[in-house]
Structure 1
Amino acid sequence: MTARLPLSAVLITFNCAGPLRATLESLAFCDEILAVDSGSTDDTLKLLAEFGVRVLSEPWRGFGPQKQFAIEQAAHDWVLCVDSDEIVSPELRASIERELQAPANQFYEFPRRNRFLGRYLKHGEGYPDLSLRLFDRRQARWSDDLVHERVITLGIVGRLSGDLLHHSEDTIESYLAKQNRYTTLAASALVAEGAPMPAGKLLLSPLFRFIKFYFLRAGFLDGVPGLIHILIGCFNSFAKYAKMVEQMRR
């Protein structure tokens, strides 16, 4: 078998022991696993030690800056960035290892399959949810966004087969709590950028989002879990702009 380029798996962690074991097991093929932890107090650090992960402690900077700091500390230039609740499927692992034998591109995206209410979603917002997570860090970087961060590239993005399996929060309550934090951060970022008052978007953004994901992208085929997932996404759009209005009026 042709040797492949060395690969660092990179995570940011904070009190994420619940789903972390499955994530680390799926990254065993990488030459290094690096975690940048921002003060975990649960069993996260114990699990990382069990799997021989190299751990660095760093105060929280926001999602984009934290992930950029993390890839800068990796031992290898090719990095695979995953979250603590994501699992590299066997098919995706095979695609990654095959491609790194002779990369045709410097950046790669692949589908992310979201698990919600005990079911992997196949339509709507839940799939394919293409995510750019494998790249040469010398040619790309994470954005400075505090939430909804993205990888910034200049060049053609390749696409790999196989899914990144995303295990969303176990309960609606915990899922909504996370979305509440994200919409607050997103609203604050828009206000900081000087975005205009979003009066029209309060109504139109959730409406268009529902039409797009429930009908045009067949979210109705995912049954009740798909409907709930999309409706929460629509409410997130409303909440983000409502919080933005609140902040602008202070």
Structure 2
Amino acid sequence: MIEFKKMKISVVINTFDEEKNILRAITSVKDFANEIVVCDMFSEDKTVEIAKKLGAKIITHKKTDFVEPARNFAVEQATGDWIFVLDADEEISVDLANQLKQLAQEDKTDYVSLPRKNIIFGKWMEHSRWWPDYLVRFFKKGKVVWSDRIHQPPETSGKEFKLDAIEQNAIIHYNYNTLDQYLERMVRYSRIQSVQLQENGYNFNWCDLIRKPTSEFLSRYFAGEGYKDGLHGFCLALLQSLSEFLVYIRVWESQKFKEVEEAEIVNEVNKAANEADFWLVQKSNNPFKKILHKLR
């Protein structure tokens, strides 16, 4: 009979004003974790009070506009052999918790990539590049390190195990509940991303004001089959496109809104229209193909 060494598992949650979510998040991992570490950015609501009542260890970190700078700090405070990183607006199932426990005890891997089920405006987004949305969230301590830059995947070392992209393996993410929530983050994140883009050596090309948003919409709605997500898929593809537009228009702003010749703009818009036209007729199962043929 094979005997497994018992591995201590720490769950790490970064928070700021998450009183509406923290109970659900902690409850979902309470029986899975040997330790729950809540790294709070001086919440002004009852987040810390609720977390304490649920037995979490509370640490604090200065407030930042995005979570990545606080990730490594929070992980360092955890004492487990294995770390599971959970956002406050997420939860996991008992089935997933049991799978992760088994992987930790078998000790044949160093980090695990998990699919994530994004629920946006009340709907699970099964297409539009929102699924399977793989993330590295379970790992041996010391094998995963986050960058201080927004929305960057962490650096990993060692052997990866990738869970199958099926619903029972997924972290459940209650992503955007309202349009205001989406727009607030979009404005805040675009400001940060535009600065970091230029710090990375990006030289502004005005064509990116057209190309990047167009590419974002087409890749989500057509290539990513966002149309299969109904009106949610269409609206979210547009919103993600707008998010890209904001990033690059902020870069343009930093360039003092330099003007461009009208003919150049018309030429670039025509290119974008041709690319959209290509996708409209590309897939036989795309419902917009029939509409386009009726219009021609």
Fold agreement, TM-score > 0.5 = yes
Higher strand share: 1
| Residue 155 of structure 1, CA deviation | 3.8
| Residues 10, 84 of structure 2: 8 Å contact kept | yes
Equivalent of residue 174 in structure 1, options 168, 175, 181: 181
Equivalent of residue 84 in structure 2, options 68, 80, 86: 80
Moved over 4 A (4+): 1-4
| Residues 65, 143 of structure 1: 8 Å contact kept | yes
1 or 2 for the larger relative contact order (CA 8 Å, sep ≥6)? 1
2:70 counterpart of 1:35: no
| Residues 41, 63 of structure 2: 8 Å contact kept | yes
Instruction: Give the gaps of 5 or more residues in structure 2.
Output: 258-296
Report Cα offsets for 1:147-176 as digits up to 9, x if no partner: 213210134421124011110232111221
Provide the C-alpha distance between the structure 2 equivalents of 1:104 and 1:221, rounded to a whole number of angstroms: 38
Provide the C-alpha distance between the structure 2 equivalents of 1:98 and 1:153, rounded to a whole number of angstroms: 21
2:59 counterpart of 1:22: no
Q: What aligned pairs does 1:87-236 form with structure 2 within 5 A after superposition?
A: 87-145=91-149, 147-161=150-164, 162-236=169-243
Where does residue 246 of structure 2 map in the other structure?
A: 239
Report Cα offsets for 1:195-243 as digits up to 9, x if no partner: 1104222111111122222112211111111222221111111111111
Corresponding residue SS for 1:92:
helix
Instruction: Give the gaps of 5 or more residues in structure 1.
Output: none
Provide the C-alpha distance between the structure 2 equivalents of 1:238 and 1:155, rounded to a whole number of angstroms: 37
Amino acid at match of 1:100: A
Provide the C-alpha distance between the structure 2 equivalents of 1:20 and 1:106, rounded to a whole number of angstroms: 28
Corresponding residue SS for 2:106:
coil
Amino acid at match of 1:213: R
Corresponding residue SS for 2:207:
helix
Report Cα offsets for 1:118-175 as digits up to 9, x if no partner: 1111111321111111112322211121x21321013442112401111023211122
Given the two structures, how large is their TM-score scaled by the length of structure 2?
Answer: 0.79
Larger Rg: 1 or 2? 2
Corresponding residue SS for 2:155:
strand
Q: What aligned pairs does 1:42-57 form with structure 2 within 5 A after superposition?
A: 42-57=45-60
Identity in percent: 26
CA RMSD of aligned residues (A): 1.8
Corresponding residue SS for 1:36:
strand
